[in-house]
Amino acid sequence: MKIAVHCANDVGEQKHFWQSTGLTPASLLLNADMRQNMIYAGSIPHGGITFVRIHYLLELVKADGLGTDNPVYNWSILDNVLDVLIENELKPFFELMGNPEGYFTDYLDDTQAWAWRRLVRDLARHYIDRYGMDEVRSWSFETWNEPDVGWWTQSEAAFCVYYDACLEGLQDADPQLVMGGPGTARTLSNIFKAFVAHCDSGENYFTGEQGVRVDFISVHEKGVRSCKEDLNPSSMGICDREIQAVDYIRQHHPRLADVPLMNNECDPQVGWLDYHTWRGRPYYAAFVCKMINQHQMRLTDGLGVDYKLLSNDNGFVGEWGHRTLLARFSEFEDVKAQSEHRTKVTDLQENPLRRKFEMLKKPVLNVMALLALLGDRRCEVTGSDDPAANVGVMATRRDDDQVAVLVYNSQDRIISCGTETIELSLDGLPFEQAALAHYRIDETHSSPYEVWEAMGAPRWPSASQYAHLRQHQEPTLLEAPHEVRVENGQLTLTFDLPLHGVSLLVVSARPAAGPGSIRALRYERYAGLTDNEQVMLIWKGPDSRVIRTFEVLYAQNAAGPFQRVNEVDTICTVYLHVREPVHQTTYYKIRTIDYWGRSSESDVIEVAPATSK
């Protein structure tokens, strides 16, 4: 297959509108496994995962006097949960969902409507005080999740009053805070229609004004219904149903036609808990790339939709076949908590088995790292203009310094195989000498599931098996960075791309300066399932987009000698050092290496013995 990328032909901004995940319930973030999950999400370079959409955050708020003018709140548990996100440079996609103290039973009751407005106002003011105005303005606030399928138990009229209370409460705190909805699950459901009609021409319950501000319209469209079987999802069907919503709004509520759209639960299949092994394999990663490209081609390019966010709801904790970013091995099962979505906080703090687990990256997490390396301007592509085709391309540029081209080979049919030979021609390259790096996700690259299966699929891998699996869990270079000669702005590359697979080719001019230094190096301890101890190193990487790897250096003396302990290259900003127990202070630092071998080193961090932390 011949594909041409015309690097000098700019066709618009490349918005990274896919940088999101989601989970439930909020209280899981009080536990070590979910906290580690969020560390991995935050480790994707350049904010590759930025937003985390979480159900029932307001269940964590304690309050007295909600029906009065001066309620008293205890935000401490919610603070602890949101601190996990902020510490990892993640942002809440904040669903205003939950019922503190069970007080709110009818939003058509005037006292309750005003109480909810005050709650939202005070919530926003609290987090502006805690994190700063600029931070909270970068969040998005949203209505109650999926009010059309049982999550919402009141009337459509009550939902509209509830929305007004959310909006007015946020505006009382800061008029620039972002609010939208309705996050419905069924295509053009009655409550969806009632919501957009209310925003278009309905009467604001509090102000009496006609028409209610809405900053985005959200829906949930997925590839196929929940089923224990491996039903084949329809990627094009997701877009088809979103287009129905766009057409409905444009026809019936043209005043809202330019409001940004999002699908913030755009999953291949309904039901996070149903076990589908493809979720742990490259199929899922390639499907995500195809969904992104189809949305860009069909909705952004084809219909001029201002597409704000496309998110998988895959931030849960679970095994290979669950809808998660990582595979967790643990003696503790919290399926009940995640399926019922609401759990007593004390129940999650009492079971010590929760503290012992092992986590392995899946290809769907690794593909977020590859997507993060795309540029900020789109390049014209020829030879790949059918959004339904197996092979698709996203070609981007960043100034005159870099061109990044992502090619996927994805078929909706789960049981499918094959290989496509790709001849990729680049013209209009803005440099003559460059380095080429080629990243790959397929069944033999960036995918530990196949390695685990080859081991005999052990239920409880040994320490050496976990170590071997982790050597296969990072975004992998098919070709190490090497110099290439660009003739008259042209470069042709040929490679085979398996079904299902993803290639990212990054062609970069050499920057004048080497990689910048990392910052904010810190560590966390975890209790795994073996006799070894675990020290997780977390850092914030430089803005450089030509990093080959971070090397994690370790010593038992502050003066060294330091030795590299991560055998496999990583472009993500986290490393779990699994080591034999050490009963003394130890030391770590991070070395950053770019495509040309230039390096920089961080300051040294001191790690106290386990008994001291």
- The rounded radius of gyration (Å) of the Cα atoms in the chain is 24
Mapping DSSP onto H, E and C, the string for 278-307 reads HHHCHHHHHHHHHHHHHHHHHHHHHHCCCE
Retrieve residue 103's tokens: 């007080």
Q: Alpha carbon of 16 to those of 289, 377, 434, 504, 544: distances in Å?
A: 12, 10, 25, 16, 17
Do 244 and 193 touch, CB atoms closer than 8 A? no
What is the layout of strands, in order, in the sheet containing 307-310? 20-23, 51-54, 91-95, 140-142, 178-184, 217-219, 261-263, 307-310
Task: Write the CB contacts of 49 (distance below 8 Å, at least 6 apart in sequence).
Answer: 19, 20, 21, 41, 42, 90, 368
Q: Which residues are catalytic?
A: 146, 265
Kindly tell me the burial class for residue 188, based on how many C-beta atoms sit within 10 Å of its own C-beta (0-12, 13-18, 19 or more).
middle
Containing 63, the helix (H) or strand (E) segment is strand 62-64
CA-CA-CA-CA torsion sign (270, 273, 277, 282): positive
Retrieve residue 52's tokens: 């985390």
Length of the chain: 613
Task: Write the CB contacts of 365 (distance below 8 Å, at least 6 apart in sequence).
Answer: 40, 41, 44, 325, 326
Instruction: Measure the CA angle with vertex 214, ends 212 and 217; round to 5°.
Output: 135
* Burial letters 497-531, b for 16+ CB under 10 A, else e: bbbbbbbbbbbbbbbeebbebbeebebbebebbbe
Do 162 and 170 touch, CB atoms closer than 8 A? no
